C-alpha cells in the first residue's frame, strides 16, 4: 500500500511540473483534473479485493478465510498455520453479533484493560507524531520553502518537488526492505532522530538564507528537504501503519485503527492549514524548529513506549504488551 501511495505522490509532482508552464487559470485546473483519474482505477480494484481472513473467521467462514490465506501465503502449510492462529484468537474472544460494536467501544474507551490502554496509547501517539513532524508542510508547500531559501524561479521550485517524490518512494522501499530484517523499533528510532536533526538543519538553513539568500543556500535547502523526506520515509512512512495494525487485538482492530487514522488526519489537517499562518507569526525557520522539537519528543515516546514486534504473530501481540 505504501509503495502505491508514494508512487501516486511522485506522479502528482511530475504532473504538476508538466502543467506548471500552462497559464495560471488553466494550470491548476489541469492539476486537479489529473488527480481524478487514479480513483477510477481504485474503484475498479475494490471489486476484486477479498475480505480479510480474520474478518471471515470471526463470522465462521473458515473455508473462505483459508482460500484468501492461500492467495497471500507462500505455501499451503503456511496458510493452514496462519488460519490455526486466527481460529485460536477468535476462540479466545468470540464475537457477539448483538453487542460486538458496543462492546468494542466500551473496551477501547470506557473500561480498557491496562494492556488495551497501552496499545491504544501507542497507536494514537504514533499516528499523532507522524503528522506533527510537519511532513505535510514540506509535501504541500515545498515550492514556498525553496523560494524562501533563494530559488528565484517558480518553475524550478515546482521541478524540485519531483526530487522529493523520487526520494520518498525510494526510501519507502528501503524501509520496507529492512522492516523484517532489523525490526520496527530500530527503524522508528532512526527515523524520528533523523527527522528531528534534518528538520533542525533545514530551519537553520532557512534562517541563514533570510539574511543572505543565494544559489548556494537554495541548493542546501533542497538537500535538507530531501534529507528530511528520506529520514521520514525510512521509518515513519514505511512502519507506522503496519505497526499500528499489528499491535491491536483482532477484536479491536477495525475500531482502533479507525481512531488512529482519525488522529492522523486531524493532525495532518492542523499542520497543513496552519503552516502559512504560523510561518507569518513565528517565521518559516521557527516553524521547522518547532517541528524538530516535536519530533525529538516523538523519539522519546518511541524509545520508552514501543516494544519490538518483529517475529510476533498478529494474534500474539497481547502477550508482548502485558509485559
Query: Where residue 307 sits, what CATH number does that domain have?
Result: 1.20.1250.20
Q: How far is C-alpha 208 from the chain's CA centre?
A: 31
Residues of the domain holding 281: 113-322
Q: Which residue has the cell 505455501?
A: 75
Instruction: Please state, in angstroms and rounded to a whole number, the distance separating the CA atoms of residues 11 and 218.
Output: 24
C-alpha cell, 100: 460486538
In a domain, 183, yes or no: yes
Is 67 exposed, middle or buried (CB count within 10 Å of its CB: 0-12, 13-18, 19+)?
middle
In a domain, 153, yes or no: yes
Q: For residue 93, give the 3-state DSSP assignment.
A: coil
In a domain, 61, yes or no: no
In a domain, 172, yes or no: yes
Show the beta-strand stretches assigned E in 201-290. Answer: none
Residues 248-285 pLDDT 10s: 887 788 888 899 999 999 999 999 999 999 999 999 99
State the pTM of this model. 0.76
Number of domains in the chain: 1
Across the chain, which has 323 residues, the per-10-residue mean pLDDT values are 74 76 78 80 83 84 90 87 84 58 76 85 94 90 81 73 85 86 91 95 87 76 90 89 85 86 94 92 93 96 88 67 68
In a domain, 166, yes or no: yes
Residues 32-57 pLDDT 10s: 788 788 788 888 888 888 888 888 88
Give the CA-trace dihedral at 208, 20, 161, 293, to 10 degrees: 50
In a domain, 236, yes or no: yes
**DSSP structure class, residue 23:** -
User: What are the Cα distances from residue 291, in Å, to 146, 160, 202, 261?
Assistant: 18, 22, 11, 20
In a domain, 6, yes or no: no
In a domain, 26, yes or no: no
Is 108 exposed, middle or buried (CB count within 10 Å of its CB: 0-12, 13-18, 19+)?
buried
CB 189 within 8 A of CB 299: yes
Amino acid at each position: 500500500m505504501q509503495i502505491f501511495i508514494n508512487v501516486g505522490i511522485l506522479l502528482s509532482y511530475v504532473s504538476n511540473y508538466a502543467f506548471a508552464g500552462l497559464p495560471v487559470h488553466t494550470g491548476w485546473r489541469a492539476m486537479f483534473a489529473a488527480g481524478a483519474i487514479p480513483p477510477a482505477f481504485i474503484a475498479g480494484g475494490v471489486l476484486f479485493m477479498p475480505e480479510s481472513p480474520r474478518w471471515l473467521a470471526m463470522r465462521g467462514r473458515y473455508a473462505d478465510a483459508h482460500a484468501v490465506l492461500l492467495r497471500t501465503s507462500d505455501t499451503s502449510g503456511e496458510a493452514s498455520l496462519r488460519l490455526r492462529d486466527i481460529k485460536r484468537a477468535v476462540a479466545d474472544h468470540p464475537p457477539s453479533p448483538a453487542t460486538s460494536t458496543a462492546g468494542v467501544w466500551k473496551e477501547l474507551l470506557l473500561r480498557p484493560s491496562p494492556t488495551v490502554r497501552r496499545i491504544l496509547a501507542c497507536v494514537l501517539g504514533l499516528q499523532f507524531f507522524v503528522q506533527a513532524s510537519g511532513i505535510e508542510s514540506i509535501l504541500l508547500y515545498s515550492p514556498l520553502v525553496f523560494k524562501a531559501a533563494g530559488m528565484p524561479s517558480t518553475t524550478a521550485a515546482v521541478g524540485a518537488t519531483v526530487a522529493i517524490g523520487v526520494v520518498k518512494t525510494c526510501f519507502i522501499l528501503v524501509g520496507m526492505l529492512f522492516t523484517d530484517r532489523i525490526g520496527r523499533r530500530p527503524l522508528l528510532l532512526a527515523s524520528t532522530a533523523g527527522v528531528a536533526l534534518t528538520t533542525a538543519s533545514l530551519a537553520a538553513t532557512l534562517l541563514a538564507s533570510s539574511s543572505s539568500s543565494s544559489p548556494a543556500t537554495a541548493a542546501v535547502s533542497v538537500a535538507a528537504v530531501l534529507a528530511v523526506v528520506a529520514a521520514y520515509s525510512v521509518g515513519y512512512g514505511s512502519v507506522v501503519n503496519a505497526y499500528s495494525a499489528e499491535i491491536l487485538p483482532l477484536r479491536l482492530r477495525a475500531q482502533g485503527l479507525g481512531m488512529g487514522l482519525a488522529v492522523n488526519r486531524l493532525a495532518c489537517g492542523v499542520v497543513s492549514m496552519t503552516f502559512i499562518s504560523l510561518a507569518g507569526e513565528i517565521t518559516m525557520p521557527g516553524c521547522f524548529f518547532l517541528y524538530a522539537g516535536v519530533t525529538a519528543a516523538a523519539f522519546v515516546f518511541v524509545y520508552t513506549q514501543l516494544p519490538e514486534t518483529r517475529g510476533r504473530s498478529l494474534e500474539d501481540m497481547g502477550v508482548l504488551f502485558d509485559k
